[in-house]
Amino acid sequence: MNRKIDIIFKLIFILLFIALFMLSDVSIHIDISKPNNTIIKKDDTSNIEVVMASFTDGFVLADMKGKYNMSVVHNTEAVLKNKYDWTDQHIKTAKLNILAFVKKFYKAAQEEQRSSGIPADIKLAQGLHETDAGGSILSSKACNVYAGIKCGKGWKGKTYYIEDDSYDKNGKLIKSCFRCYDNLEESMTAHSVFLTNPIKAYRYGFLFDLPQTDYRAWAYGLKKAGYASDDFYAPKLIRIVECPWLDIPPTQHAVAMRYHEFFRFEDDQVVEMQALWDIPELMMQADAWPMTPSLGVEWLVPGPATQDGIITSPYDQARADASLQLVLDMLSDMVKHPLAGGPEIMQLERYWHPKMLWYGPAGIGTNRRISGFRNCHQIPFLSALPDRKTATSGKTAMFADGNYVATTGWPNMQMTISGDGWLGIAPSNQ
């Protein structure tokens, strides 16, 4: 009889729990970094945090409330917008906060690396992670960049108490004691002193046998030494160091990217600058190119074969004018095709050497001979963009020196994409 009553009471309890769960604004939050799973109300500000769990497909963000700066490191913008209701302004603000933190502390981190041997990238990654790029309570209230620096038995300075990862004997979360500093820079130095303390060499000493450039080994070494209780502390640090740039994933390989910079001077001072970076080239090297493969050859484009690209001789006005006029004539003839006639109207043989090399931007690639230029670039380009012309708005510049002519502009050309599209871009007739 007693057993039946016990079972009935358990069933009633379970039904009441389910009813409460369905009627109230409650979500189950499983925190893999703590021993007890907890149920947290969404409007409960006493235990709000971002928890990232590591799975085979990367990090998964469990955001209980609020917007956290470091979320942009562990999630794509699409995930933040679609799953966590971030706006463009949230994303922009988070990125600016991260950039501001790095700009403020990178020199100090480099100096600490020289004096203590702790890698600057690890020091910055720890600071970004522990403080949410300077936005955490511990960072603002206690000036403690490195939340791993708890008071300990020997600490006699100022303290700050906050819930972290300490539990009493009954498994209840209690506040942990953290060291408090006068400013964040002092906290950064204290972090170095903490890790290099001879008394703690039995825990952290082996780290300083690792190469300063091996941030992965340092990240896992810190976890192994017991610096943090979070089981995923190391991969989180590594993810920060290897943070994608413009959503281009890190590869840990050397890359090269072409760029150009044009400067306009007035009274021996730069008053205007225009620059272009061949970011698609970087995407290709990272295997992140989303469009069709190049018809030309993608490679590290060399300097001029004549090795005279840097001109140190006195400026030759006549030679420069002749070079500039040749290019202007070539461009004038090229734009006649296809609207004013066939390929012959361009007179390519008049302007280009039969064995010339045409170094196109990434996505188009390098082409050899006039036939290579025509087949691998111009024909598919003009098939999709036959009405291309010089942009009516924007600024352009063109000048020459010796046998070289330089030009830039933004916007430089305007056209309508039609036909079968170009480089995988669907025709929109716009």
- Give the whole-number percent of the chain exceeding pLDDT 70: 83
Which of these, 129, 130, 113, 127, lies nearest to 207 by C-alpha position? Answer: 113
Q: Which is more confidently placed, 181 or 296?
A: 296
With b for 16 or more beta-carbon neighbours within 10 A and e for fewer, the 135-165 pattern comes to bbebbeebbbbbbbbbbeeeeeeeebeeebb
Q: Is the pLDDT of residue 21 over 80?
A: no
Integer distance in angstroms from the first to the last C-alpha of the chain? 81
Total residues belonging to the chain: 430
CB 76 within 8 A of CB 247: yes
Q: Residue 228 in contact with residue 250, Cβ under 8 Å?
A: no
Q: What was the pLDDT predicted at 59?
A: 28
Model confidence band, residue 60 (pLDDT cutoffs 50, 70, 90): very low
* Structure confidence at residue 405 (pLDDT): 95
Q: What is the average pLDDT across 317-338?
A: 95
* Residues of the chain by 3-state class (helix, strand, coil), percent to 5: 40, 20, 40
Q: Residue 12's CB: how many other CB atoms inside 10 A?
A: 10
Residues whose CB falls within 8 Å of the CB of residue 32, separated by 6 or more in sequence, listed in order? 51, 53, 231, 232
The predicted pLDDT at position 6 comes to 55
Categorize the per-residue pLDDT at 346 as very low, low, confident or very high, splitting at 50, 70 and 90: very high
Distance, C-alpha 254 to centroid of its chain:
16
Q: What would the mean pLDDT of 145-173 be, rounded to a whole number?
A: 80
Residue 138: which of 102, 181, 168 has the closest Cα?
181
Residue 48: is its pLDDT beyond 50? no
Judged by DSSP in three states, 205 sits in helix
> Comparing C-alpha atoms, which of 199, 240, 206 is closest to residue 221?
206
Q: Degrees (nearest 5) of the Cα angle 89, 132, 198? A: 160
- Alpha carbons 348 and 137: distance in angstroms, whole number: 67
Q: Hey, what are 194's tokens?
A: 């903490």
Task: Please give the pLDDT value at position 410.
Answer: 83
Mean pLDDT (the chain) is 80
Most confident range (mean pLDDT) of 37-46, 101-110, 144-153 is 101-110
Strands 38-41 and 26-29: what pairing?
A: antiparallel
Q: How many CB atoms lie under 10 A from the CB of residue 365? A: 21
Contact indicator for 363, 389 with CB cutoff of 8 Å: no
Average pLDDT (165-184) is: 84
Distance CA(26)–CA(28), nearest Å, equals: 7
Instruction: Label residue 227 exposed, middle or buried (CB < 10 Å: 0-12, 13-18, 19+).
Output: buried
Average pLDDT over residues 296-320: 92
* The predicted structure's pLDDT at residue 261: 92
Render pLDDT for 268-293 as a digit per residue (tens, 0 to 9). 999 999 898 999 999 999 999 989 99
Q: How confident is the model at residue 132 (pLDDT cuts 50, 70, 90)?
A: confident
Given pLDDT bands bounded at 50, 70 and 90, which one contains residue 46?
very low
Tell whether the model's pLDDT for residue 413 goes beyond 80: yes
Task: Determine the number of helices (DSSP H) and then strands (DSSP E) in the chain.
Answer: 15, 14
Q: How confident is the model at residue 237 (pLDDT cuts 50, 70, 90)?
A: very high
Model confidence pLDDT, tens digit, residues 133-144: 887 877 777 777
Give the C-alpha separation, 82 to 95, whole Å: 18
pLDDT of residue 374: 95
Euclidean distance between CA atoms 88 and 80, whole angstroms: 10
E-strand spans in 234-284?
259-266, 269-277
- In this predicted structure, what is the pLDDT of residue 146? 62
CB 161 within 8 A of CB 177: yes
pLDDT at 355 over 70: yes
Task: Please report the pLDDT score of residue 420 as a whole number.
Answer: 86
The CA distances from residue 272 to 50, 149, 258, 413, in Å, are 43, 47, 21, 21
Stretch 351-379: mean pLDDT: 94
Opening angle at CA 231, ends 228 and 234, nearest 5: 70
Higher pLDDT, 361 or 390: 361
pLDDT average, residue stretch 349-378: 94
